[in-house]
């Protein structure tokens, strides 16, 4: 088990919420934070760089890594496999870094079991309509893919209640400040979900 809290930060969010941008800003602003680069069997998008956004691998390579217990956690999301490499995460933690895992709720459930000291954060969009707009605007996925991701968001967002804190990602600077402040002052208490956050979560049930 990890020695203390704040070594491992999990950030989950429905696709399109903007979590990658948030994670990028966090590691840019906080030199002690690093982001784990996941392995995936998903096809590379045009704007992605292998080894930077993900390590893109074939299904047999991914399966071999599973068999070698090379993953800290892994899951199937939107029909593709994604996994966090164990060695890299452990090496960064040993160096005293805070490692951010940008993973889905299934991965978060796995990590909570092996590393109960991990800190789990969930980002939600300002509204259902704004999420759809952001997914459309991204321009990297097909219509089918966008619809699948939007549909999954309805399920994803209901898992936010299991996280240590939920943040509305309306403004990048504000979200990052809120996350950093929360992590700094964290002493084991969950951040209560606000009325506003609850109303957004509930709007996804309809
Ligand atoms: P995308 O294909 O949009 O980059 O990512 C799809 C989903 O997979 C996102 O919810 C993302 O957080 C999740 N994901 C990315 N890497 C990992 C990983 O290593 N493990 C798990 N469990 N989920 C991941």
Rounded CA-CA distance 77/2 in Å is 27
The closest-lying atom of ligand 1 relative to the alpha carbon of residue 78 is: 6
Residues in the chain where the model's pLDDT stays below 70: 1-5, 206
Tell me phi and psi for residue 82, to 5 degrees: -135, 140
Q: What is the pLDDT of residue 19?
A: 95
Q: Which residues line ligand 1 (CB under 6 A)?
A: 15, 38, 42, 73-75, 77-78, 82-84, 102-104, 106-107
Strands (E), the chain: 8-12, 33-35, 39-40, 55-56, 71-77, 80-85, 98-102, 119-124, 165-168
Q: Which pTM does this prediction carry?
A: 0.95
Q: What is the pLDDT of residue 5?
A: 65
For residue range 71-123, what is the model confidence (pLDDT) as tens digits?
999 999 999 999 999 999 999 999 999 999 999 999 999 999 999 999 999 99
């Amino acid at each position: 088990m990890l020695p203390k809290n704040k070594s491992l930060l999990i950030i989950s969010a429905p696709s399109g919420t903007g979590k990658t941008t948030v994670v990028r800003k966090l590691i840019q602003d906080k030199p002690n934070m690093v982001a784990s680069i996941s392995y995936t069997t998903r096809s590379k998008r045009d704007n992605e760089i292998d080894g930077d956004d993900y390590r893109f691998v074939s299904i047999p390579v991914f399966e071999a890594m599973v068999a070698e217990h090379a993953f800290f956690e892994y899951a199937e999301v939107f029909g593709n496999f994604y996994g966090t490499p164990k060695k890299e995460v452990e090496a960064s933690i040993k160096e005293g870094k805070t490692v951010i895992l940008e993973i889905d709720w299934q991965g978060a459930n796995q990590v909570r079991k092996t590393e109960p000291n991990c800190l789990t954060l969930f980002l939600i969009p300002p509204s259902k309509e704004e999420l759809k707009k952001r997914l459309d605007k991204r321009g990297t996925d097909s219509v089918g893919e966008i619809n699948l991701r939007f549909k999954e968001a309805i399920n994803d967002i209901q898992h936010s209640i299991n996280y240590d804190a939920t943040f509305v990602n309306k403004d990048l600077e504000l979200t990052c400040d809120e996350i950093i402040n929360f992590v700094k002052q964290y002493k084991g208490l969950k951040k209560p979900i606000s009325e506003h956050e609850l109303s957004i979560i509930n709007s996804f049930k309809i």
